[in-house]
Structure formats: C-alpha cells, structure tokens
Chains A and B, each alone.
Chain A
Amino acid sequence: MAEPSITWIQGATVVDSEGSREADVLFCDGKVRAVGAVGAMGDVPEGAAVVDGRGRILMPGLFDMNAHLREPGREDKEDMATGSAAAVQGGVTGLLAMPNTDPPVDSAGMVQSVTDLAAAKSPIPIFPAGCLTKSRAGAEMAAIGEMACLGVKLLTDDPSPVEDAQLLRRLMEYARGFDLIVASHATTPALVRGGSVNEGEVGYFLGLGGMPSMAEEIAIFRDVAIARHTGCRLHIQHVSSARGLEVIRRAKEEGIPVTCEATPLHLIFDDSAVCGYDTRFKMDPPLRAVEDREALLEGLRDGTVDVIASNHAPHSVFEKNTDFASAPFGASLFDTLLPALHHHVLAEGGLSLEILVEKFCLAPRRLLGLPEPGFREEAAVDAVLFNPADGTEVSQTFLKSRGCNNPFLGQTLQGRVEGVWLGEKRLLG
C-alpha cells in the first residue's frame, strides 16, 4: 500500500533552529505544509495519517559527518544497506562516509562508485568524503580537484593523520582553492605506537600500552598553525582531550578557520569503561579521563565544539572477540545514537535538547553547505519523532548494523526513535 501523502503529527514538542514549541505539524507531498498551535489547525484532512506526538519530540534528523560504512571492501562488517538502516533507527537522515574503504576513495572514479552504491542501497543521502593522499598512504596528493568537481566537500585520511607537515601544508594550500574542508584525525603516531588505551591510571592497572593525550594536543597545535598559515578550513575530528580542545578554543578566538567534533562515546564514557578489557570500548582516540569528558560537554555548551559525530566503526566478531591489544579500534554506534545520547547525556542534564539539535542536526549540514532542515512552511520534510518516555531494548535482533561492537548491547536505553520521515517517505515506524 502506498504511503498516505499527508501526515499530521499532533501535539509534539517541535525543536529546530527556531527553538522549541508545542505544535501540530502537517507534512504534504514531501514538504512541510503547515505548523500551527496545538488544536488550531482545524479538522483532519481526508486521507491523512495522524500521529500522536504528545509527550514526544519532533526534531530534524541527525546528520552524522563521521561514519565508517566499510563498503566497498569490508562488506562483512557493514555495507551501505545495513549501515543506512542502522543509522535511520538511530535517528540519522544523512551522513558523510569516511573514505578509508578498500580501495580508498581517492579519485573521481571512486567518488562516483560510492555515490552510485549509496543511491542504490541507502534510503538516506550518503555523501562521500575524499582522501587527502593517494591510498591514504600519506605520500602523494589524491585527486583533490576531480573529487571536488563531483561534489566532495571534505577531505581526510582518517583514521590516519598526514604525518608529513610539508605535505599537509601543500594539501591545505591546494584544497583552499576549492573551498574544501581538510579534516584531521589529530594524533602524533610516534607517541601512540603500540598503545591501545588512554595513558593513565587505568592503562597502568590493565598493563596496556598508553596513548597519551599530548599526542592529540601536539597534532592539533600543528594542524592549527598550518591552518593559520594557509587560511584553509580545518576540521578536527573526534577531539577527545581537554588540552586538545583548549588549543582549538584559542585558535577560534584568534579567528583561525577551525571547527571540531566530539563523539557520543567520549561524551558518555571515560577510560574506566575499559577496566574489564571490553574491546567494544577500544577506540582511537581512546576514552579519556573524567575531566576530559567534562571538558567536551562544556565545549559543546560554550560553542568550542561545533558538531557531534558518531565515528561509527563496525567490526566483526572474530576481530573484536580477542585480547584488547590485538582488537581493532572502534565502536558500532548507529543503531543507538539518539537513545544513547538521551539516556546518558540529556536525561542526566549534560546537554539541552536545543544544543543537541544544533550540534548533531544543523551544524554539520551548515558546515558542509547543505540546506538546514526545520519545521517551517515549504521546507523539505526531514524529521525524527523521539519518545523520551519509552525505552529501547538493545538486543542482537534490534541491531541492524553488522558490527558486533555496539557498547550498549544488552542494555535498555531510555527513549526510543518512533518515526523517521525524509521527503515523501516514512523510513521508520
């Protein structure tokens, strides 16, 4: 049966760039037709699907600008179909795919191939990011201009930094001409070699090699200096340390064109989560100290942190179910994004809903030059209905991602994504 072309969501708390208010919202043929005071819009139009929004939050869909989708190359971990399905149930309506696939996205041909795959397999738009260097090898420039012509907006060698400072300088000078964002996995390889956890007391007790936060701080310092010199837009990915964030704060005050993101896991957990050698909590950058976690939340509130992005990194069982040092870095997060943030951050007073919408829905789209969704007449429909009173039972059958490494598996999270609408389609619920 075809979806009704009219949807009426009644009495929800509507949140977008205009702030939050109680309202009735009417979608018609993929556009927002009307937004009005609760009960003021008169009778239900014939054929409309009526959705009870009372006690729910109606917000734009999340845009995740740091996601590892694994296709092409490692479809055993994830592909465009499973990844996008998982993202939708976490409340995501658009994402930026990291280029560290196999082969990596370092040419126009690869950009086209990923774009085609996404169009065929994903119900939500997936934008490819391009590599900075050929094969992410850190030696030669990737086909930056060609990729920019196909619409690529951001370049990164994530999860590797560009170690050669001269090459990074050239890349930023060149990318500036195409108004591209150069994104950085900011770390100093020599300082983290052999490490698998934050260097700190937890790492000492576990007897695991450490990854000191100064590795991040030094790298951000370098990247920011090159951004100052070149004038290129710089985006620091998944910043994890208070000191690294402090370097960004000072750079922003100086007017250097730098932005940054934080991941939900770094907002929720500190390195004590690693105490049982649970490899789902092994990530790069690692979970850090309590003070670092608090600094990231403060950074979101004071504007230093621009964006929340998942760094979704699915892995297979055989890779993760091993000793901590041998396991690969990364956590699978898509399926549980909104419930996890609601349960562990919003419900505990760490962030307001308005800040969440700004950082996870609006800011990433603005950064990438995409239209900002919202509940105003004639805007394209891009909406998530979230029920904070219901729960999400994170079981193996609930998860749509192929990644075995969701840190919330086995828990019941407070809050549930009840509906996702994009254009004329209802994608969930």
Chain B
Amino acid sequence: MKVPPRKKDLIDIRSLSREEVEYLLESAKPFKELFSQSVKKVPTLQGKSVLTLFYEPSTRTRSSFEIAAKRLSADVTNFAVSTSAVVKGESILDTVDTLQAMRVDYVIVRHQASGVPGLIARHTRASVLNAGDGWHAHPTQALLDAFTLREVHPETAGRRVLIVGDLQHSRVARSTSRIFHMLGAEVAALGPGTLVPSHRPEWLRTFSNFEAAFAWRPDVIYLLRVQRERQHDQFFPSVHEYHHQYGVTAERLNRIRGEGIHIMHPGPVNRGVELVDAVMDYERTLINRQVENGIAVRMAVLYWLKPGTEERHG
C-alpha cells in the first residue's frame, strides 16, 4: 500500500484525508497480528523518546499509548502534570519549552481545553498526538472505532451507526462521527435535547427516542459515556430517568440481540446508566475489542508520524 506523505502531528480527524485514514487503518492490521505472537515488540522506534503529557486524568488512554510506544521499542516517559493545582493556560507554553529542551520525539497530549494539542504542536519540533482535548477531538479513538467497525463490517459504506448520549460535550462523538461519515457510513444521534447540539453537521441526523432510532435499523449502537455531574447542571432530571429514556435497558438489549446490532462504547462504562450489566456479556458487544484495537491503531499512528527537524514551528 502506498504510504501517504508523513505528517508531523495528529490533532484531529478533520485534517486527515480519506487516503490517510485508509492507510492508517490498513497499517494497523499487521500490528494487531503481532499481538498474538509471543514476542509482541518491533524495533521500529528504537532510540526514540515518547512523552505522555496528560493534564486530565486517564488510565486507559494513557496506558494504551504507553503500550503502543513500548511495543515499537520507544522509550516512554510520563510527564507528571500537577493535578492538584488548576493548571493555568499560561504555563502550557512554559512546559513546551521544557519539552523542547528534553528533545523528545513524540508528545502525547490530553488537555481539558479544546485546542491545546494544536497550540503545543505549533511550538515544538516533536510530533504531537492529540489524546483528547476538551470537547474538540480524540482522533486515535476515532481511528480505533473505525478499525473496529471495519472488522465486523468490512464494507463500511451504507452502514448505519447510531450514537447515543451526550454529543454536546463529547470529543469522541465529534471525531468518531466524522470518521464514520468519511468512510461512507450513515450516522445518527440520539440523546436528550440538551445534549444534542443544535448546530451540527448536516449529515448527522437525529432521533429523539429509541423507538424511532430502532426503526431506522442501525447496524451499530455507539453509546457515549454519561458524565454524572451533568444532571446537576440541569441537562437531564436524573441518572435514573436518563437510563430509562436513553440507556440500553434489558428490554432494549433483547431487541438489539434480535436484530443483531453491535454495541460500541469508548469506556469506561457506567453500568446502570448507559447500559445494563448484561450488555457486557452480549456477544456483539465490541467494547473490549475496541481497547485491543486501540493499541494497534496507536502503533500505526506513531509509526507514520514524522517529528519535525526545525527547532521551532510557527
């Protein structure tokens, strides 16, 4: 497969072409095959340094990136960002100066404010991988979701994906809906009116209840994580009501099973809110597979990106 010109950073899905997405999904396959070998490591990034910079707590994503980098033989360092103090904006670029001095090759950034990975990318020669910023983007999540969808539906065009939950405050929803759309799938949203943005891409159709959404005959239901604190901001009356209106209840699981619909979720799940326990044992639940694929996809991204050579960008 032809390798598209390598980029310095991965900030969002919008800045990737279809060709680049196809390449990344294809090149993740051999990395995944590697996982079933006894030696899971390749020497590709030997001598390179990868630094994780997480301003927002995360166990899964951080570990996934760390494993991906280590399987490529890179040296990985976790930069301990103070989580006790509220990290002020002005210190971001000071931190970047520090990284610059450390001469790391790849920086993996998660930040609660939209746009920060891009800001860092413009100020460092290292490759910046966005591991989630604010409500903006989570491109490696989108890639792993697309990879997972392709595994169960090799022909993505025309497939129907229903995204359920809080799309307003979700970077996953923004990135994943975009990559599915890019790959020709039809994407729809279901959620309370307060959490489905009134300004959204025209290709994103919406449903206001599960009944109407089921009638659309989705192939995949993608559940978003509910931030429990949203109920205190008056986005919905209670978690209990949310579960009954927008969660996968036992009755809905029966219907899902009957229609052979797959279930995806970016994790970690809130049992009893987005879904009932039984969903975790349903044979078409892809949640654990998403986690495994995340490592392969992140390896593919690290492998493809190319750190800059200039001292400074922008």
Contact = CB atoms under 8 A, between A and B. Distances in A.
B199 A201 contact: yes
Interface residues on A, range: 20 to 34
A208 interface: yes
A196 B144 CA distance: 31
B90 interface: yes
Contacts of A102: none
Contacts of B244: none
A204 to B, nearest CB: 5
A207 B137 contact: yes
Nearest to B123: A321
A203 B134 CA distance: 12
B14 A205 contact: yes
A277 B136 CA distance: 11
B111 interface: yes
B193 interface: no
B93 A322 contact: yes
A276 B92 CA distance: 18
A398 B221 CA distance: 57
A200 B199 contact: yes
Contacts of A201: 199-201
A378 interface: no
A277 B134 contact: no
A204 B195 CA distance: 12
A322 B133 contact: no
Contacts of B133: 207
Contacts of B114: 206-208, 277, 323-325
Nearest to A198: B199
B119 A277 contact: yes
Given A199-B199, A204-B200, A277-B119, A327 B89 contact: yes
Interface string A198-240: 0111011111101000000000000000000000000000000
A412 interface: no
A5 interface: no
Nearest to B169: A207
B206 to A, nearest CB: 13
Contacts of A323: 89, 92, 111, 113-116, 119
B201 A318 contact: no
A311 B174 CA distance: 34
B268 interface: no
Nearest to A212: B198
B272 interface: no
A319 interface: yes
A416 B22 CA distance: 50
A396 interface: no
Given A323-B111, A323-B116, A326-B113, A207 B14 contact: no
A319 B91 CA distance: 11
Q: Name the residue among B92, B114, B118 with the largest chain A CB count within 10 angstroms.
A: B114
Contacts of B92: 322-323
A325 B135 CA distance: 11
Interface string B198-213: 1111000000000000
B11 to A, nearest CB: 10
Contacts of B198: 199
Nearest to A322: B89
B134 A326 contact: no
B173 to A, nearest CB: 10
Interface string A285-328: 00000000000000000000000000000000011011111110
A276 B119 CA distance: 9
Contacts of A207: 114, 133-137, 171, 174
A322 B92 CA distance: 7
Given A207-B174, A323-B89, A277 B199 contact: no
B197 interface: yes
Contacts of B134: 207-208, 325
Contacts of A277: 114-115, 118-119
Query: What 4 A-B pairs come out closest when comparing CB atoms?
Result: A207-B136, A322-B89, A207-B135, A326-B89
Interface of A: 199-201, 203-208, 210, 276-277, 318-319, 321-327
18 contacts: A199-B199, A200-B199, A201-B199, A207-B133, A207-B135, A208-B114, A208-B135, A277-B114, A318-B90, A321-B90, A321-B93, A322-B119, A323-B115, A324-B113, A325-B113, A325-B115, A325-B134, A326-B89
